[in-house]
Amino acid sequence: MTQQPRQRSWRSGWRRTARIALELLLAVAMLVAIDRWLTGGTGFAQVQPNPYWLPVLAMALAYGTGPGVLAAAIASGLWLLYAHENAGERDYLDHLFHLSLQPLMWFSAAVAIGEVTIVRTTRHARLEKHGQVAARNLARLTEAFAALSHTNRRLQVQIATEAHTIGHAIDTATRVSSIDPAARRGAIGELITLAARTADFTCYRVAGGEARAWLHGAMTVRHRDVLPAGLVTCIGRPRAILHVADMEDRAMLEDVGVAAIALLDRAGGDLVGCLILHSLPFDALNASRTAELCEIASWLTPLLADSARATHPTVRPAGLVA
């Protein structure tokens, strides 16, 4: 992981060095050609300011001290190479000063301008890095805010749809013992909605090996009147709940629902009913929620049996009265 950034940095530095060298060589070659063509190779002695200032200033302004000093060294070499005046016509010290003045100014300008360029580019790189960090932090804050907003909306919806107090649950449980069959069935449906946290369900009653729909939730749009025989045979053996989170259960629950809870008789262990949940969030099918869903069978099975007895009362034969 650490070698890749190093190799990338090394390649970038090598390319930068090659580009600077190529640009400098092209600039100097063009100036030498122009010097030979216009002035006969005198090093632009009669031209003020000297055109050899161009590569020095360009390198110092664009790349900093190092390339600027290199350009100044090349320009000074060319300047000294083409000694253009006869030393006998002037004093030796004056001639020496005349030859060294241009290189001195080139090196001084290259160092001064190059250091300013380095400070500027360093500050620009630091500001760019800070900007990238700020952009990443802003993106993270935006994602965190979006996640919090989504969680807040979900909680608001959950609170609005599940705003059932303990008093409401007690009132619903009280209506389970109502004499009116319709009120009793409605109370059982509300209890299932509270426990399963969904109103899209169908409760089936098993009789004669066939599971027929007995009660459905308020949000149930479509449901099977009779469950497939294969599902009735498999449910409850050996698990009390089947759900689509398990790959083995998806084929049996296809076009039926997302979860099937077996309602087993405590005494004999026979299947007396089945609760099908048609819609449920996929993350609700974890170990904790499936355990909560299985607890529904502990109180729904007796209510289903009591409702069956209430629907089909026992008829006693007439006897003699003493």
Give the pLDDT confidence of 72-111 residue by residue, as tens digits.
Answer: 998 888 888 775 554 556 666 767 777 788 888 889 999 9
Residue pair 78/84 in contact by the 8 Å Cβ criterion: no
The pLDDT of residue 28: 86
Residue 204 or 157, more confident? 204
pLDDT at 50 over 60: yes
Instruction: Tell me the three state secondary structure of residue 55.
Output: helix
Rounded distance between C-alpha atoms, residue 69 and residue 156, angstroms: 68
What φ, ψ does residue 99 adopt, rounded to 5°? -75, -35
* Nearest-angstrom CA–CA distance, 233 and 68: 88
Pairing outcome for strands 241-243 and 210-216 = unpaired
Query: Between 42 and 67, where is the model more confident?
Result: 67
Rounded to whole angstroms, how far apart are CA atoms 190 and 296? 12
The stretches of the chain forming alpha helices (DSSP H) are 3-38, 53-63, 65-81, 92-161, 166-175, 181-196, 229-234, 247-250, 287-311
For 110-131, write each residue's pLDDT tens digit.
Answer: 999 999 999 998 999 899 999 9
pLDDT computed for residue 173 by the predictor? 65
Predicted local confidence at residue 317, as pLDDT: 42
Q: What is the pLDDT of residues 152-178, one digit of tens each?
A: 887 777 666 555 555 556 666 666 666
Neighbours of 8 (CB within 10 A): 10
Task: Provide the pLDDT for residue 170.
Answer: 63
Among 161, 218, 163, which Cα is nearest to 189's?
A: 218
Question: Across all residues in the chain, what is the average pLDDT?
Answer: 79
Query: At residue 60, does pLDDT exceed 80?
Result: yes
pLDDT reading at 188 higher than 80: yes
Give 45-52's long-range contacts (Cβ < 8 A, gap of 24+): 45/82, 45/84, 45/85, 50/79, 50/102, 52/78, 52/79, 52/102, 52/106
pLDDT band at 318 (very low <50, low <70, confident <90, very high): very low
Domain boundaries, the chain: 3-138, 180-311
Angle, helices 3-38 vs 53-63, to 10°: value is: 160
**CB count in 10 Å sphere of residue 80:** 13
- Give the fold, CATH level 3, of 180-311: Beta-Lactamase (3.30.450)
CB 244 within 8 A of CB 258: yes
Q: In the predicted model, is pLDDT for residue 135 greater than 90?
A: yes
Tell me the pLDDT tens digit for each residue of 225-262. 888 888 888 876 666 788 888 888 888 888 888 888 88
pLDDT reported for residue 129 = 92
Q: Is 49 left (phi over 0), alpha (psi -120 to 50) or beta?
A: beta
Partners of 201 in the β-ladder: 277
The answer to whether 259 and 277 are in contact (CB under 8 A) is yes
